[in-house]
Amino acid sequence: MESVIRYFEEPELDRPVLVEGLPGVGNVGKVVADFIADKLGAKHFATVMSKYFPPQILIDPNGIAIPPTNELYYLKDVGESHLDVIFLLGDFQAVTPDGQFTVCKELMEEVFLKYDVSTIFTLGGYGTGQMVETPRVLGAATDMDTKTKLEPYGVSFVPGEPAAGIVGASGVLLGLAQFHGIAGACIMGETSGYFVDYKSACFVLNVMERLFGITFDRTDLEEKCKQIEELADKVKTYEASKKKDNLGYIG
């Protein structure tokens, strides 16, 4: 195995749901997964290192090195649905296509199949390259039953969207889930992709609340949403001024 998985605890879980929220377009999935894990007090049980992660470290506010890892957390008996949940979190993804497949395959075989994961939800952003007033939540499912379950929760399944497919861990894990006969879906918030999109994350969080049967205090997240809306207004004003300037060269 090319990844190293260090366990701090080996919890007993009852067919848990996996929620993946690694960095991606607008960091939408990461924001949602980190928020849920933090609000519910998820417990850290393993660290994943791989040669396929970036050859770098981050540095925390105290000057302490943060190596390139993924982290695994768990919760038991969540919400009205009483689900056990595993979270795949982190600040890094593998940097090559081969690395993406290898890391996800090893996590699937060494962790998720071991814990008999029942459903896999990968969270991400659907980049539009332009400002989005009211983000849609788009989905791709492993099977019709999962699609039918998610549609009443506000997830739209639109033919041809996203046109380029789903890349990174969110896509690879969904493909591996289907290969192993595990139900799953990628849930994507529409985003410009220009910045960390807390507004889009709020729309994806709506879906996760309904899936888990739980309501979160969003005070801190909504404050960040307001900041993003202010930034978005500035971007739209700038784009409009550029368009107006360009019209001066027509005719």
Give yes or no for a cis peptide into 162 (omega within 30° of 0).
Answer: yes
Is residue 5 within 8 Å of residue 48, measured between CB atoms?
A: yes
Residue 103 · residue 158 · CB < 8 Å: no
**Among the ranges given (32-41, 160-169, 234-243), the one the predictor scored with the smallest mean pLDDT:** 234-243
Q: Which of 81-90, 108-117, 225-234 has the weakest average pLDDT?
A: 225-234
* Mean pLDDT, residues 13-27: 97
Question: Counting Cβ atoms within 10 Å, is residue 98 exposed (0-12), middle (13-18) or buried (19+)?
Answer: exposed
Reported in sequence order, the residue ranges of 55-131 that DSSP labels E, i.e. its strands, are: 58-59, 65-66, 69-78, 83-90, 119-127
Query: Which of 81, 73, 82 is CA-nearest to residue 111?
Result: 73
Helix residue spans in 19-93 (DSSP H): 28-39
Q: What is the pLDDT of residues 166-205, one digit of tens each?
A: 999 999 999 999 999 999 999 999 999 988 999 999 999 9
pLDDT tier at 244, thresholds 50, 70, 90 = low
The chain-wide mean pLDDT, for the chain, equals 93
pLDDT at 38: 97
Cα–Cα distance for residue pair 108/177, rounded to 1 Å = 8
What global pTM score does this model have?
Answer: 0.92
What type of residue is 183? A
- CA 251 to each of CA 239, 240, 241: distance values in angstroms, whole numbers, following the listed order: 21, 19, 18
CA gap 24, 127 in Å, rounded: 10
Asked whether the predicted pLDDT for residue 16 surpasses 50, the reply is yes
Lowest mean pLDDT among 27-41, 52-66, 190-204, 236-250: 236-250
Where residue 31 falls among pLDDT bands split at 50, 70, 90? very high
Could you give the domains of the chain?
Answer: 3-217 (3.40.50.10900)
On whether the CB atoms of residues 162 and 182 are closer than 8 A, the answer is no
CB 50 within 8 A of CB 169: no
Contact predicate 38/87, CB 8 Å: no
What does the radius of gyration of the chain's CA atoms come to, in whole angstroms? Answer: 19
Whether the pLDDT of residue 246 is over 60: the answer is no
Nearest to 191 by CA among 137, 122, 123: 137
pLDDT at 146 > cutoff 50 = yes
Evaluate whether 154 touches 202 at the Cβ level (below 8 Å). Answer: no
List, in sequence order, every beta strand (DSSP E) within the chain: 3-7, 17-20, 43-50, 58-59, 65-66, 69-78, 83-90, 119-127, 137-141, 183-191
163, pLDDT greater than 60: yes
Give the closest residue to 110 by CA, choosing from 46, 55, 169: 46
Residue 251 has pLDDT above 50, yes or no: no
Q: Which residue has the tokens 């998985």?
A: 5
pLDDT value of position 234: 79
> Among residues of the chain, what percentage have pLDDT more than 70?
95
